[in-house]
Structure 1
Amino acid sequence: MLALPNECLFEIFTKLKNYNRCLFSCLLVNRQWCRNVVPILWSGPVPFENRKFIRTCLMALNSEEKAELIPFNIFLPINVKLLFKYTSYITTIKILSDDGIKKWLDLEGPPELAYHSDLNYIVRDAIETIRYSLVLMFLRTSNNIKDLKAYGMFYSKTTSLLIEIADKSTTVTNLSFWKNRLGPEGTKLLAEALCKNSTLTFLDLWGNCIGPEGGKALAKALYKNNSLTHLKLNNNQLGPDGGKALAKALCENKSLISLDLWCNKLGPDGGKAFAETLCKNTALLSLDLSKNLLGFEGIKALTKALCKNNTLTFLDLSENQLDTKGGMELAKALCMNTTLASLKLCSNQIDDIILSQINALLVRK
């Protein structure tokens, strides 16, 4: 019986991408099947919570990356040759927990580093260093990484390395740092990298304590960066000053089409600044200003801007102390606006009759 060409097999196995058990079974059929299945299994997202995955990746470290682990009495085998260059196929990295590293230390690492619920500083440092070496190896061995997410790693060597991605990587298009405590200083480093980056299109910095100074640094980057299309800065304590800096930058920026600023205490001044932006910006399609204490004055300025803006299609003004009077102003603005298709006003104090009128105006578009 003639074997199917590799091209056909690869197309068939690609259909099973979300069924890892089936693919693992296919690995055992013969060498041809194995060669076609391995790239699909390892394309990602990488299972960082899996101990066996961590073990295989540790075998791919070079001498410099292994040297980082020696102070913790972690001595990995030398001259180990893996059957495939597994990590070269990785396209998506999600570091959402260190469970895989903890399990590996508990079962295969030095006894003194076995996992305990009350992690001491030595064990924490070992986990941090292993993660650092692994990320370093991923960046060295794979030229296909497009999507990288990191959650709750705090500002550390690994986070510094991830910031470097924005500076040097020519493949990563989606970058997400969630609750990593970048702070103003870390954000400034990232902003400097964004001034040079020409490939990143999506950046999510949710919950990183950026503050007003970090917001100003990112605003400066937006004057120079022309590739970023989606930016999420939710829950970052930007305040009115950080918000005004970003709003001013968007008067010049022509690439960003989506901006999320939920819960940043922008206040009425922040609302007025973004109102001015909407009068000038011709690229922004989606804007989330929910939970920002915009008040009546901020909302009033935004409603006037909606009379002039002809590009925005989505606006979220939920939880902004908006009363019926403000709702009436919005309804008037929507009579003149021809592009806004979706407007969120959850958790405000607008009369139900006015809300119905607003919804009716949106449905007509």
Structure 2
Amino acid sequence: MRDLRQLDRLLTGAIGRLTVASGGGRAARLAMVYGVDKPHDGLAGIPAGTAMVDHPNVTTLFIDEVPARPFVGVRFNVRVVVRCDVSSLGQPLFQACELRGSATAPTSDQALLDCTHALCKGVEVEDSLFRPQTPTMFTSGVLGHDFVIRRSVFEHCVDGFSSYNTNAGTTDYDVRVQVLGCIARLAAMWKVPTTRHADGVSHNDVLGQLQGGKGAVVRGCLVDGTPSSTVGDQDAVTPGAGRRCLSAVLISSLHPADGAVIDRNWLSNTKFGVEADGAADLTGTGTVTGNRLTNHVVPINLDATQRAGFTVSANVDGATGAAIGATYQGGGTSTTNGTYGATYGTLTY
């Protein structure tokens, strides 16, 4: 069985490399400066002209040994779970791949690419597409730790990624997550049970969530919070053309998310551009710098306790160029935009 898996990776990788090379644009992608060059379909996602090969697995694919070759130009129609250290590859594990998940709808939270295993390490994804074949309120793009996503596209997910490491045994660990030059758009918005969210709305964080761990980096990404008009049941949530997702990037509260770097992204049309959740167990430190924020109800929302922990600087309105500071939920004052308190629950999407 192991030899068959190795042969499969060799064949699919070889075919993929040839087709990716014929698609062109590789040099421009490699020269991309994250945070300076704005992502677009020519710089992110599967390169034009790539002929995809379907992976043969019909159930969850577990990667539990270092592959002989990376996956290149492969379409995965199942959930992929990494359970080993692949850092010795010296190149991305997934390049120009499409991660679609299972055709069977999940009934609990899961991701198209699962990096939550304790042994998972060194996962790199480049120029790929995360788009579930069966979108649900439970489906995200990537979950876990020790992954780097470059120049890839997230569509029809609830959250693009969530970074955390429940295996670390402590809240003081490097999560080793970077999301660079990616595009997140067309999120699937859902009406959900009030036991999941009290307001009955899927809390879409279009690019993703920093759920815990030190040093996660989100740089140079393009996020549009306008939900998909064809996937999800967003009309049951908020009818009409004015719908928007909850946030572009959420710094949340599974464990303290220290040293977060939210740097020079293009974020638009969400309720919150960047939000730090105010839960008691979140210490929250980091930088929110140089972002271009357009058409948010609140561009940068931090809990009042985060005033000392976060450096907020050089953020601007993406339409006017005007300087944007943080607002602070739950009291306190800001030297920029004042206090943000009692109206938190009444803001419309």
TM-score normalised by the chain length of structure 2: 0.41
Larger proportion of strand: 2
Larger proportion of helix: 1
Larger relative contact order (Cα-Cα within 8 Å, sequence gap ≥ 6): 2
Question: Rg larger in 1 or in 2?
Answer: 1
TM-score normalised by the chain length of structure 1: 0.40
